[in-house]
């Protein structure tokens, strides 16, 4: 496999929003210098479980999950953790009129930033929220639930933007402009999805949250007539389908092997390094960092797994707020 070259384009990276101790923002290039990128990915939130506003997390960032993708002029956001606040401010500043939000699942760290998503205040903007269908609640009900009294003073019905909720089935493929999106079930409590985003010959795979190789079946609402081992194998195959030949594989690496808790529904770097090798992915990005992980811990994890990544022929990165990747 021909690995893309990774370059830092900016000679003078700037600080995010003036936050004290915030990381400088490198722009990472995965395409030839004379080519126009067909996909740009920006990390706005990389932390799992709950946001962290402490010095130990300033380098990699403390916001919960959110990615922004610019694919052939289409604005796509993945997950609505607290990182979506900054993403929304940037989208409004650029005058973006249509935004598609791909929701992995409705655990609070993945939706808690939605009430503060600035495009919702713009009458000229359309926001379409995509997710797997839930058997007992609609997407509208889920999002309305966290914005009702006594939890919020602003009901969802008061947003000014045109807000649409689109519910998908496992395995659905759909087009957002010239970009193709595939969603598949993952092994995580409740109803959780991963996404494959394809545009201009490039692929981003977002496989978070999931317990990739664990023996506990976390996913709910599956066919009860099928054996547990078969369901687990299907969920693993779903992850492989999402990740095959991906340029970027953004993955749930909440645990290290010595920390692994089988009842939580999260994975370790070892599992995703094996997956990347199996599916011929070019690079993986460690993501959904534990709240207590210090910047020095993250640096150590990268160093710990660098030789294993090289053995698999995979480029290894750790997701950091403000990093932009161009394909």
Tell me: the pLDDT tens digits for 117-149? 999 999 999 999 999 999 999 999 999 999 999
pLDDT tier at 38, thresholds 50, 70, 90: confident
Q: Estimate the share of the chain in helix, then strand, then coil, as percent rounded to the nearest 5.
A: 25, 25, 50
**Does 310 score more than 60 pLDDT?**
yes
Alpha-carbon distance of 59 to 243, in angstroms, equals 28
CATH (one of 3.90.1150.150, 3.50.30.40, 3.60.15.10, 3.30.70.270) for 22-326 = 3.60.15.10
User: What per-residue string of b and e applies to 166-185 under the rule 16 or more CB within 10 Å gives b?
Assistant: eebebebeeebeebebbbbb
φ and ψ of 178, to 5 deg: -90, 10
Please answer whether residues 169 and 249 qualify as being in contact, where contact means their C-beta atoms are separated by less than 8 angstroms.
Answer: no
pLDDT tier at 247, thresholds 50, 70, 90: very high
Predicted confidence at residue 25, as pLDDT, reads 47
What is the tens place of the pLDDT at every residue in 51-104?
Answer: 999 999 999 999 999 999 999 889 999 999 999 999 999 999 999 999 999 999
In the chain, where are the structural domains located?
22-326
Predicted confidence at residue 28, as pLDDT, reads 55
């Amino acid at each position: 496999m021909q690995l893309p070259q990774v370059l830092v384009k900016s000679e003078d990276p700037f600080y995010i929003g003036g936050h004290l101790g915030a990381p400088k923002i490198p722009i990472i290039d995965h395409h030839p210098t004379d080519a126009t990128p067909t996909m740009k990915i920006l990390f706005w939130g990389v932390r799992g479980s709950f946001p962290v506003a402490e010095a130990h997390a300033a380098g990699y960032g403390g916001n919960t999950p959110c990615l922004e993708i610019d694919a052939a002029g289409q604005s796509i956001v993945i997950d609505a953790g607290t990182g979506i606040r900054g993403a929304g401010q940037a989208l409004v500043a650029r005058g973006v009129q249509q935004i598609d939000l791909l929701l992995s699942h409705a655990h609070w760290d993945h939706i808690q930033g939605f009430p503060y998503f600035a495009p919702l205040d713009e009458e000229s903007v359309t926001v379409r929220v995509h997710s797997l269908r839930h058997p007992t609640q609609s997407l509208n009900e889920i999002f309305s639930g966290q914005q009702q009294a006594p939890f919020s003073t602003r009901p969802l019905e008061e947003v000014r933007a045109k807000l649409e909720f689109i519910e998908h089935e496992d395995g659905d493929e759909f087009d957002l402009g010239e970009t193709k999106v595939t969603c598949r079930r993952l092994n995580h409590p409740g109803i959780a999805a991963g996404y494959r985003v394809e545009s201009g010959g490039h692929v981003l795979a977002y496989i978070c949250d999931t317990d990739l190789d664990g023996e506990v079946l976390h996913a709910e609402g599956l066919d009860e007539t099928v054996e547990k081992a078969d369901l687990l194998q299907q969920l693993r195959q779903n992850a492989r389908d999402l990740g095959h030949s991906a340029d970027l594989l953004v993955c749930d690496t909440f645990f290290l092997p010595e920390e692994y808790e089988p009842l939580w529904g999260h994975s370790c770097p070892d599992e995703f390094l094996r997956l990347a090798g199996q599916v011929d992915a070019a690079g993986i990005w460690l993501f959904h960092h534990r709240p207590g992980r210090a910047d020095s811990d993250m640096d150590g994890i990268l160093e710990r797994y660098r030789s294993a990544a090289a053995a698999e022929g995979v480029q290894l990165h750790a997701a950091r707020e403000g990093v932009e990747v161009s394909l």
